[in-house]
């Protein structure tokens, strides 16, 4: 837990930015350091993760990070830390925050007709980060504290998520006003195009996808009755930019790049998640019946998932049956197989299925969550505890793992550990008050000397941060 505690305490201390807490200096005096950029991004993410539109879906976000890091490893700063995440928003948008945090709206993922098209947008956003465009613009506002700059970064996000907003005010300015001051310049956009294109090619993806996708985005303005996509407001795609990228790709030999199955499965999942109506089921049935375009495996996956979501378990199992052979080869298909088995109350060999699947895909968090749920439901508490402790070492800031661990401790009657773990879940949500309350309960609930010493140390530090925060306000 030490890594989690360090991250949480450090970030909260920056949020307070009060006497007795770390002072990062005046970030407005020239360019910010990479450490300061990361701190700004971390603070902004507290706001984003608590927003209702943040898509807390491990499979979607893990896919975005896999694709994102395929690009990052071929960028001009392969050592830079990044976090890619999705927002459940049908508008067509993507954005970068200082420190390598890149958000993608589900609307943009669904609009992309190939994995390389989606990657072209990620490559462009990665370039904005590695070239420190946003950080330089934020620093140029001459703001005298990291906390204020983080608030400004969140205001930028608000303006980009809703460019029509006129009331969102932060650090004394409306978000829409901030947006006008901090839109990327033409030079920034051209540089991000050029570097993103190179990254796309080096990563083994199709560079021809970039001008194709940009042109479709530009045309979508007319298709949406002049309601310009958010991405075009913050990254104006001009004919000159499209022509420049198109000319550059003409110098690159063309080769066909196939989409990964996970790209197709993620898009099918997002479409299946749009609502719980029969309309979604009918869409996938029609798509399967036509057999003219798209990936048949992904369509069947989407149909089975849509049926499962509206409670038609038997039909979901029937539609999923042709995919059964792929459960050992793809973690998303294995996860859906497990969900259908559990919903069908088909308990024959289900624990063995999950044990085998998690050995095959040990880092697929959605599969791990479901396996732990099964172990808890079948009262295999010690097995669940072992698996959770192994996973939390790898994912120390995974909220769902901590929630499951708190449940596990509660089932074992370990109240001190339960409240201690609940404190971590609250701090990961940015709720310092409730975290302190849970630590107080943990302190009174047990007698383990080692555990108590950790709890008391954390209580002291959390209370100092809370006092500094109260003083600041």
Q: So which residues are the catalytic ones?
A: 125, 193
Instruction: Kindly write down the DSSP assignment for every residue of 58-120, as one continuous string.
Output: HHHHHHHHHHHHHHHTTSS-TT---EEEEE---S--EEEETTTEEEEEHHHHHH-SSHHHHHH
Q: How far is CA 200 from CA 77, 193, 352, in A?
A: 14, 10, 41
Q: What is the H or E stretch that residue 242 is in?
A: helix 239-249
CA quadruple 191, 193, 195, 197: dihedral, nearest 10: -160
Token digits of residue 209: 């996808």
Token digits of residue 226: 């002049």
Token digits of residue 355: 């044990």
Q: What is the H or E stretch that residue 169 is in?
A: strand 169-170
For 170-197, give the secondary structure using H, E and C: ECCEEHHHHHHHHCCCHHHHHHHHHHHH
Q: Considering only CA atoms, which of 329, 279, 394, 370 is closest in space to residue 59? A: 370
Token digits of residue 256: 């066909």
Say if residue 165 is exposed, middle or buried (CB neighbours under 10 Å; 0-12, 13-18, 19+).
middle
Cα separation, 231 vs 229, whole angstroms: 5
For the beta carbon of residue 134, count every other beta carbon within 10 angstroms: 24
Q: Residue 362 contacts by C-beta under 8 Å, 6 or more apart in sequence? A: none
Gyration radius of the chain's alpha carbons: 24
3-class state of residue 164 by DSSP: coil
């Amino acid at each position: 837990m030490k890594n989690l505690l360090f991250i949480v305490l450090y970030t909260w201390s920056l949020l307070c930015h009060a006497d007795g807490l770390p002072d990062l200096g005046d970030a407005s005096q020239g360019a910010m350091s990479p450490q300061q950029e990361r701190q700004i991004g971390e603070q902004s993410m507290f706001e984003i993760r608590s927003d209702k539109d943040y898509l807390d879906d491990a499979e979607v976000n893990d896919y975005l990070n896999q694709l994102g890091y395929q690009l990052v490893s071929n960028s001009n700063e392969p050592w830079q830390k990044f976090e890619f995440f999705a927002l459940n928003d049908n508008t067509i948008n993507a954005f970068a925050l200082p420190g390598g945090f890149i958000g993608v709206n589900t609307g943009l993922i669904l609009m992309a007709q190939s994995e390389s098209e989606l990657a072209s947008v990620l490559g462009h956003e990665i370039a904005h980060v590695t070239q420190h465009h946003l950080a330089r613009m934020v620093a140029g506002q001459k703001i005298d504290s990291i906390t204020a700059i983080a608030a400004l970064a969140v205001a930028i996000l608000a303006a980009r998520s809703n460019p029509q907003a006129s009331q969102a005010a932060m650090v004394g300015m409306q978000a829409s006003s901030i947006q006008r001051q901090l839109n990327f310049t033409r030079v920034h956009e051209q540089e991000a195009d050029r570097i993103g294109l190179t990254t796309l090619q080096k990563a083994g993806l199709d560079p021809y996808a970039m001008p194709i996708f940009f042109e479709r985005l530009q045309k979508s303005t007319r298709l949406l009755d002049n309601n310009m996509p958010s991405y075009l407001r913050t990254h104006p795609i001009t004919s000159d930019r499209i022509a420049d990228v198109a000319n550059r790709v003409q110098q690159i030999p063309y080769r066909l790049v196939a989409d990964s199955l996970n790209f197709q499965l993620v898009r099918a999942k997002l479409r299946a998640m749009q609502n719980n109506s029969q309309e979604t089921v009918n869409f996938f049935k029609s798509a399967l019946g036509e057999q003219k375009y798209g990936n048949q495996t992904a369509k069947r996956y989407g149909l089975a998932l849509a049926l499962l979501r509206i409670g038609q378990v038997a039909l979901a199992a029937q539609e999923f049956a042709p995919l059964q052979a792929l459960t050992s080869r793809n973690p998303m298909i294995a996860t859906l197989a497990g969900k259908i088995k559990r919903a069908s109350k088909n308990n024959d060999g289900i624990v063995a299925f999950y044990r085998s699947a998690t050995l095959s895909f040990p880092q697929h968090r959605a599969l791990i969550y479901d396996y732990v749920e099964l172990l808890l439901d079948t009262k295999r508490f010690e097995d669940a505890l072992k698996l959770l402790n192994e996973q939390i070492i790898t994912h120390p800031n995974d909220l769902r793992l901590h929630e499951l661990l708190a449940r596990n401790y509660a089932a074992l009657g370990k109240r001190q550990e339960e409240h201690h773990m609940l404190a971590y879940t609250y701090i990961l949500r940015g709720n310092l008050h409730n975290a302190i309350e849970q630590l107080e309960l943990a302190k009174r609930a047990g007698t383990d000397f080692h555990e108590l010493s950790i709890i008391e140390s954390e209580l002291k530090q959390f209370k100092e941060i809370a006092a500094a925060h109260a003083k600041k306000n």
